Structure 1
Amino acid sequence: MPDGLQAYCRECSAEYYRQRQEAKGKKVRERVSVPPGHKRCPQCSEVRPHSEWERNKTSSDGWASYCRECRAARNRASYLKRRYGLTEAERDAMVAAQRGLCVICLKAPAVHVDHCHETGRVRGVLCFNCNSAIGKLGDDPDAVRRAAAYLEGTPWKPTLVAPGVCRLPS
């Protein structure tokens, strides 16, 4: 209106909006009363105290859109999809196919997705130590073989065959 006021009160205007949206066939969530110092998470639908939320200066109320637990779950799922093209269900199926264990050491639980750095293809799910060992060896099968030969005690140093010609152990 010209005087800066609305024709209807906030509650009546909200009810009218709700009726219009439902007439269009859209789902409108019910308004939930939230006590002061709390916020409702749209994903888990729980009302939680502000201590269970991250701060966000850009939002209207100064708090994140989702509670810490839901936000962490969404970030994990988003990272898997963005980085490896996997859903959490696909990753869990891979872990189940490996019986929950790392396929290299067969001791630790498999929690880290391993992939080829050249092609980006996902190879499997490994424990942290095995995944980082492969990465530190540069995804080089020859380096892994030399490391295995070293651990088994076989000669690992190159032998001089002729001047300027060395033979690497096989």
Structure 2
Amino acid sequence: MRRMSKLCESGDGKPATRMGGTRCQACYRYHRKHGTFVRAGSRPPISIEMVLQNVSATESGCLVWQGMTDKDGRPLYYDGDRYAAGENPLVYVQRWMFERYSRKPLVAGQTVTHDCENKKLCVHHAHAILWRDLGSGAFMSRGDGRGVDGVAPAGRCANGHDFDDNNIPYVNPTSGVRSCRRCTRDSKLRARGIDPDSAPYVPYRKGSTHCRAGHEYAVYGFKNRGEGRVCNECVRIKSAKGNLKKGYGLTFEDVARMLHEQDNACATCLTVFTEADPDDFRMGDANVDHCHDRGLTRGLLCMDCNIALGKVKDNPDTLRRMINYLSGRESMPATSRAETCPSTMR
């Protein structure tokens, strides 16, 4: 019979970690960060008073949220009571305010927006409207033009983007949920700190012979990813840039500058590089040499020189002894070298 795990000593009802632990994982994370298990105080549950403490009023009457937001900039609040009860502690403030004052709980498929100048951060219930009541129209089956239960799917997403040939919704094959391509693109830009309005939207081009970077699919090839195609050349360039940045903190502009300073040759043996082409995002036969202890980049080497430095563990004393050894051996007469080198023949 399987034995039930012990509960955390904090009294929040969560199971303690295995291998003799007396606290839950959240407690151990808090201890690692703050050095103590004693919490400074749990967050109070969401209420009108807590909402008013996290907003600033404007002349237009908006209550602009000043607290935590999600990656799309929507107001969020961390409810301590919900966390203690084992529920999702994150509460969308705009939705919570609408439900409280309308006294009607929202269901899946219903979306709230605001008709004021601070559409994204305003939490005033008087400015909130039920933007779309998608209901079952928010879901549809793959390959089926009808929605669930014969209801026609909505022609727009929850943010008002038309589902047309330039904005084909992605349909999750498991849940049937439709995702707007433009909303997905805007969400990714906001997560990177970029205003979506500052970057023009490029429509989805399903029948194009070239990728958006101008690479011809017939030359470089592509991979099918659901409703879209991924250019092989774009994947190669992205991977080359990422590996160079992640491994050495460099860009191909830095590599071009280093090649110019080294006359396009290895820094130690002066072998000319013939395959390195930073303009085409290719390192070729050039290898980045860096200090493993401090992580500093020292230059570009050929493969043989880079391996040689690795074999001697970047030790200058070892290299000096090797130089002295070679210099001494070259100065000895041939007969003396033969006498010091015993024959392997028996």
**TM-score grouping bracket, smaller chain normalisation:** 0.5 to 0.7
User: 1:30–1:93: structure 2 CA closer, same or farther, 3 Å change rule?
Assistant: same
Tell which has more relative contact order, 1 or 2 (C-alpha 8 A, sep 6+): 1
Show structure 1 runs of 5+ residues with no match: 156-170
Give the alignment partner of residue 217 of structure 2, picking from 45, 48, 69.
48
Q: Distance in 2 between matches of 1:111 and 1:89?
A: 14
User: 1:130–1:25: structure 2 CA closer, same or farther, 3 Å change rule?
Assistant: closer
Offset, 1:32: 3.2
Give the alignment partner of residue 313 of structure 2, picking from 122, 138, 144.
138
Match runs of 1:1-170 below 5 Å: 1=137, 3-6=150-153, 8=155, 13-14=163-164, 27-34=200-207, 40-42=210-212, 44-49=213-218, 52-54=221-223, 59-61=225-227, 65=230, 67-109=231-273, 111-154=286-329
Residue-by-residue CA offset, 1:111-132 (whole Å, 9 max, x unaligned):
1110011111101111111111
Letter in 2 for 1:48: Y
Q: Distance in 1 between matches of 2:241 and 2:251?
A: 7
Give the number of equivalent residue pairs. 141
Q: Distance in 1 between matches of 2:299 and 2:290?
A: 7
CA contact 1:34–1:47 (8 Å) conserved in 2 = no
Normalised to the residue count of structure 1, the TM-score between the two structures is: 0.65
Taking every aligned residue pair, what percent have the same amino acid on both sides? 29
User: 1:53–1:33: structure 2 CA closer, same or farther, 3 Å change rule?
Assistant: closer
Q: Distance in 1 between matches of 2:226 and 2:165?
A: 22
Look at both structures and tell me which one has the larger radius of gyration over its CA atoms.
2
How large is the RMSD of aligned CA atoms in angstroms?
3.5
- For the residue of structure 2 that corresponds to 1:114, the secondary structure is strand
Residue-by-residue CA offset, 1:99-119 (whole Å, 9 max, x unaligned):
111121012327111001111
Normalised to the residue count of structure 2, the TM-score between the two structures is: 0.35
User: 1:102–1:7: structure 2 CA closer, same or farther, 3 Å change rule?
Assistant: closer
Residue-by-residue CA offset, 1:64-107 (whole Å, 9 max, x unaligned):
x3x22221121111111111111110121111111111121012
